Structure 1
Amino acid sequence: MDQVIFYTRNQCQLCKEAMQLLTILQSEFSFEIIEKNIDESDELTEKYGLMIPVIEMNNEIIQYGQIDYFTLQSFLKK
């Protein structure tokens, strides 16, 4: 099963919306969501701090910041 890494942080409204989109897409495509809170890691905070939320699959960033359904869907169709 494919894994989607979802970088998030506390009190992030864009992150909540992105998680809702990922959950909806899970019903269409088979993948596991691995949520990583960047606030728990200085390294991740430094790397993704201004980009959150970040969605990554196969070591490739699919989208970050404002996440939209159609971009994610077209990537998952590949």
Structure 2
Amino acid sequence: MMIKKIEPYLPPSDQIRELIIYGREDCHLCQDMMLALQRLQQQVSFDFKVVDIDSDPELAKRYGERIPVLMSPLINQEICHYFLDLAALDDYLGKFR
């Protein structure tokens, strides 16, 4: 009897490496997180986009003052909030290496 090894499903790496920052304008913590991510992009391959929570009442209600929030849209997982947690981001990206 042959045993078939089942490979775990890995989504395309461009989806894995696309992140979202939920924040708002005039938020210094949001700016700090964006700058930290831009610096990190020189060493690690990923993309991020910024979504202004004030453009969507549901997002504003969900996140309120707990911003910025770095999210993985792929698995709808919060990676960190307020400050960039390098260990948490590395852990998230490392799951898919």
- TM-score, structure 1 normalization: 0.84
Q: Which structure would you say has the larger Rg?
A: 2
Can you give the 5+ residue segments of structure 2 that lack an aligned partner in the other structure? 1-13
Q: Which residue of 2 aligns with 1:49?
A: 64
RMSD between aligned residues? 1.5
When you count helix as a share of all residues, which structure comes out higher? 1
Higher relative contact order (CA 8 A, sep 6+): 1
Count of residue pairs brought into register by the alignment:
78
1:60 & 1:10 partners in 2: Cα distance? 23
Can you give the 5+ residue segments of structure 1 that lack an aligned partner in the other structure? none
Counterpart pick for 1:62 among 68, 79, 83: 79
Identical pairs, percent: 35
When you count strand as a share of all residues, which structure comes out higher? 1
Q: Which runs of 4+ in 1 moved over 2 A?
A: 66-78
